[in-house]
Structure 1
Amino acid sequence: MPRGYVGGMMALVKYAAGSRRRLLCALLAALAVAPAARAAADPPPFSAAERVIIGAALGLGDHRFDLDDRALSRQVLDYARVEAGQRVRPSRIDSDWALAPPVRDLAAELAVARGTGRLDAWLAALAPPAPAYRALFAARGRYAMTVGVGGWPSVPGGPTLRLGDRDGGVTALRARLAAEGFGAGSGDLALFDTELEAALRAFQDLHGLEVDGVLGPATRAALNVTAAERLAQIDANLERWRWMPHAPPGDRLEVDTGAQEAVLYSGGAAVQRMRVIVGSPKHPTPMFSAQIEAVILNPPWNVPTSIARNELLPTEARRPGYLASMGIRWVDGRLQQRPGPRNSLGVIKFDVPNRFGVYLHDTPAKGLFAQPVRAFSHGCMRLQEPRALALNLLAPTGMSPEALDAGIAAGVTRRLGLAHRLPLYVVHWTARVEADGRVGFRPDIYGWDRKLAAALPKAATSPSQASVLPSRRAPV
């Protein structure tokens, strides 16, 4: 008899000792739950057909027949915890990680799936169905194989190399690019030719670097990130995918702080894409979901206390008149910047109530959008094309471009409510598969990939986490 059941019986007897009637009721209740307790401790044996289904999903091969029922049940639940994103609670690792899947009773789900003959469907539905997840999942297998054979060659230190140079380092560069699928073959391996320059430009573009076709320090450093480190980065991104809803709203805005871009979706299709400036490493933009409620024209900026205390007031003390030159004054006991083209929020702000107090808005500092890595804010998200986004969101209300421009030109703060609130997801992707099948990586500006990798349990039987398993099946 299970130990917990015996302990429960003793507690019930002790509780009911003073009353015969209470004792009888307690014994009846204990007998009623005894079958459930035994079932939990000893699940029904797995049939041969169930073992075949589990072996295919977990990549166990013939090993599925070597495991007793309890061990196999543990393997299935470990796999389910991975694919359903149940291994960790994101906010317990970092308070800025407010995206999380709902908590699930996977043991109960497994019992129901077996009892209804839907084990195969249940296993297949655990992983995110998003094509981007499936593509990254498949790419992980290639990187795991590269790690398994010792990784890829490094590019030794040396001078900056560019088109026309001849150097021993060019041969190493060519081999390194080829190892990750950037074709750079040549009859003269030591010559930095146009084919090699094109391959290097493609690499730079997929790694968030300045695309100049020159092997400089930043590009050399990206090339020398090991295959094992890239594999860990992929695993961190796969885990974050598991925190996302399996069926996100067809109409939504996604802000990706890893790639520093925003994408507007309508009916599930991307209809607008733009660059974004996000929080700096000292002030990371959190991961969260919220709703856009309105468009605010000519917003004032209520300066956060921390920025006023740590930045603006010390500058004013050194340079009297600085605040006035920025249009900043005291209003109701706090600093406020008046509306206008020089306002830090620009001329358009999107009303997104959230517990982090971060904004989605325009900016007067347009030049920063040209930077390959755009992490300069105090956590807010500055949009490259706020006017176009505002027109898209306000179209159902009948807003015309002329009316929007007239409202901005008036210089008066005005709140324009949306016909329907738009879901906003602020996500963080640093690895994604591009159309040509190659994986693009972005710098881990917040150190979140390393932090998540360190927090994930190491013992995992998911095919997307345990590359040592003999065979794997992609999620369907």
Structure 2
Amino acid sequence: MKQLYISFILLSLSFSNSYAYQNKTTKAVDKIVVTKKTQPTKTPIKISNAIIANFVNKYPNLKTYRSDLNNLYLKRNYKSIWFGGKGLIEFANLLYAKTNELEQEGLQSKFAYKNKINSIFTEKTTKNLASVDTELLLSAMYLFYAQKVYKGIESDKIKEIGWLIPQKNLSYATLLSYLLVDPKALDKNDTAQFNQYYKLREVLKKYRKIEQNGGWNKIVRDTLVFELKPGDSSQTIGQIRQRLATTGDLHSDSKSNRYDQELIDGVINFKKRNGYNEDPVITFSQISRMNIPIENYIKTIMVNMERCRWIDPEMTKAAQYIIVNIPSYKLFFVRNGKTELESNVFVGGTMNETVIFSGNINYMVFSPYWNIPTSIVQSEIKTALEQNKNYLVENEMESIKGRVRQKPGPKNPLGKVKFIFPNSNDIYLHGSPSKSLFQSEYRAYSHGCINVNKSEELAYLILKDNTEWPVERIKSAMEGGKEITCMLKEKLPVHMGYFTAWVSDSGEISFFNDIYERDDRLAEILFSEDYN
């Protein structure tokens, strides 16, 4: 009797744990509880290219997956993926739950035959699907999920909107094999997804929660006051305090209308996150930024999650690399996973947009000449010469075989060093003598190249372990009046990226101005009916 009682208790606990796990897996799946148990098939399911062809003819909205379905089953010797000895494998339930939670992945898409898929997992159906249909519908659902979450929009559209960084080479068959072995990777998979994606996903949850709680109230500006400073008191300050507490720039809202030290810290943090100079003065434009509706921020996060889908996670696993984020006007030099240098930069203006692409720095040039582009000679220098015949001499320029160049020196706009990575757009990194301009909040006025504030420090870091280029030699080469080339022993990857939202390692999100107005163009594709 005692053994029977113990068996009953263990059976009850087993049922309880099983239900809890199942409920956790499916609680957000359109309120559908996965209760149906598909019975094991009496005979093995046979899949072939002909069966797949018949299947996509029966379900025409899945024709785009035909080739991928063929490849998926070819890699698995045309054996069933989703059926085991006791019916559907548990991974099918997990995938179904995740597919119904695509909103958490920053997507608005729905599988074409969602009702059919629902019928596989619920008892709310009067007609059972054939085993082959169930098998192939689940495979199509997997391809739908993998394409939306891990790959993103079509490659040709990515190139059309000006993103030329090499895209990840994703094998759906290889990814599926990995997920079947490690189902937890369905939630987070750093081998298939750029890690920034998951950081943005966490912040998306936070901002959606803020939206569900009513967002934030509009800050009403006092039209007679042009800026707010520490010590000021007004209802506007109280509203700013409430806004910053909502987004976490302040730990709490004290309800005070006085601009005190606590609010100063919150304002500085807000400015740091949003690309402003870190001073305590609050301007009208900054209040307008705070008044942007929460749904706009959510859309920005979703758009940047999409950009992350295109990036090969191997890109950031190189021993060292440089990345420039154009909207933040920042350059980062990373070695062994650690950022060793962060520098302000200038980028191309709206008429000379810096191209989004990847390259490899082959060599550096110390004390460089500036070979002035013909367009600048025609539009600027020619006019200057008409007004002043000594313009070239006064600006340390010279004409060589019909080309104009500026000599190395303090007036040279390339500064003391330039970093060359051959590309068809003739873009490179270089220094600048105009150091004060790097403190400006708006820094998009180059002709397309990247002007680096800490260019000298970058050169020292790149050559840190190069015994042929000790510090003294580098300094001498920078200060000389003669152009000197330094070939790198190993190519240094450099990536020009475009992210208007970025999450730090501490989980804090920054938003940057969409200087080239690319977010709306991408959102138009991402949220269109054709894509979803």
Identify the match of residue 333 of structure 1 among 402, 415, 429: 402
Name the structure 1 match of 2:15.
Answer: none
- Partner SS for 1:395: coil
Using the aligned pairs only, state the percent identity.
25
AA matched with 1:325: E
Retained in 2: the 8 A contact 1:275–1:383? yes
AA matched with 1:65: F
Mean Cα deviation higher: 178-187 or 42-51: 42-51
Name the structure 1 match of 2:331.
Answer: 262
- Gaps in structure 2 of 5+ consecutive residues: 1-47, 59-68, 70-79, 103-116
Retained in 2: the 8 A contact 1:345–1:361? yes
Name the structure 1 match of 2:518.
Answer: 448
1:418 is displaced (CA, Å) by 0.8
Name the structure 2 match of 1:8.
Answer: none
Name the structure 2 match of 1:425.
Answer: 495
2:306 paired with 1:239: yes
- Partner SS for 1:259: coil
Change (3 A) 1:301 1:460: same
- Partner SS for 2:487: strand
Change (3 A) 1:268 1:192: closer
Name the structure 2 match of 1:34.
Answer: 50
Q: Distance in 1 between matches of 2:94 and 2:146?
A: 14
CA RMSD of aligned residues (A): 3.2
1:46 is displaced (CA, Å) by 4.0
AA matched with 1:425: H
TM-score by length of 1: 0.80
Name the structure 1 match of 2:504.
Answer: 434
2:164 paired with 1:120: no
Matches of residues 168-207 of structure 1 in structure 2 within 5 Å?
A: 168-183=235-250, 185=252, 189-207=256-274
Retained in 2: the 8 A contact 1:297–1:407? yes
2:164 paired with 1:98: yes
Name the structure 2 match of 1:402.
Answer: 472
Retained in 1: the 8 A contact 2:166–2:358? no
AA matched with 1:372: E
2:214 paired with 1:145: no
Change (3 A) 1:386 1:187: closer
AA matched with 1:137: R
Retained in 2: the 8 A contact 1:431–1:441? yes
Change (3 A) 1:250 1:91: farther
Which structure has more relative contact order (CA 8 Å, sep 6+)? It is 1
1:34 is displaced (CA, Å) by 3.1
Identify the match of residue 385 of structure 2 among 303, 313, 316: 316
AA matched with 1:87: I
The alignment of Structure 1 onto Structure 2 pairs a total of residues equal to 428
AA matched with 2:495: Y
Q: Distance in 2 between matches of 1:91 and 1:285?
A: 19
Retained in 1: the 8 A contact 2:151–2:170? no
Name the structure 1 match of 2:92.
Answer: 51
Change (3 A) 1:294 1:187: closer
- Partner SS for 1:247: helix
Retained in 1: the 8 A contact 2:323–2:497? yes
Change (3 A) 1:120 1:207: same
- Partner SS for 2:486: strand
Identify the match of residue 282 of structure 2 among 215, 231, 247: 215
2:477 paired with 1:411: no
Mean Cα deviation higher: 343-352 or 427-436: 427-436
- Partner SS for 1:405: helix
AA matched with 2:464: A
TM-score by length of 2: 0.72
Name the structure 2 match of 1:284.
Answer: 353
Change (3 A) 1:87 1:186: closer
Q: Distance in 2 between matches of 1:411 and 1:73?
A: 66
2:149 paired with 1:83: yes
The Cα offsets for residues 165-193 of structure 1, whole Å up to 9 and x where unpaired, read as 22221222122112211227565532222
2:198 paired with 1:134: yes
The Cα offsets for residues 59-103 of structure 1, whole Å up to 9 and x where unpaired, read as 459957159746554443332122223313376564642114246
- Partner SS for 1:84: helix
Retained in 1: the 8 A contact 2:362–2:421? yes
Change (3 A) 1:460 1:274: farther
- Partner SS for 1:202: helix
- Partner SS for 1:157: coil
Mean Cα deviation higher: 354-363 or 328-337: 328-337
Retained in 1: the 8 A contact 2:168–2:311? no
1:319 is displaced (CA, Å) by 4.6
Retained in 1: the 8 A contact 2:267–2:280? yes
The Cα offsets for residues 388-424 of structure 1, whole Å up to 9 and x where unpaired, read as 2212222343111111122233311111111111111
Change (3 A) 1:100 1:90: farther
Q: Distance in 2 between matches of 1:131 and 1:316?
A: 53
Retained in 1: the 8 A contact 2:242–2:255? no
Retained in 2: the 8 A contact 1:80–1:126? no
AA matched with 2:233: R
The Cα offsets for residues 24-52 of structure 1, whole Å up to 9 and x where unpaired, read as xxxxxxxx963563476687684432321
Mean Cα deviation higher: 303-312 or 421-430: 303-312
AA matched with 1:144: R
Q: Distance in 2 between matches of 1:131 and 1:364?
A: 36
Retained in 1: the 8 A contact 2:244–2:267? yes
Name the structure 1 match of 2:66.
Answer: none
Q: Distance in 2 between matches of 1:389 and 1:243?
A: 28
Q: Distance in 2 between matches of 1:394 and 1:329?
A: 31
The Cα offsets for residues 283-342 of structure 1, whole Å up to 9 and x where unpaired, read as 221111100111111111111222222233234334543343222232222221122221
Retained in 2: the 8 A contact 1:184–1:195? no
Change (3 A) 1:94 1:35: closer
Q: Distance in 1 between matches of 2:429 and 2:472?
A: 23
Retained in 2: the 8 A contact 1:86–1:103? no
1:449 is displaced (CA, Å) by 1.9
Q: Distance in 1 between matches of 2:212 and 2:319?
A: 40
1:230 is displaced (CA, Å) by 0.9
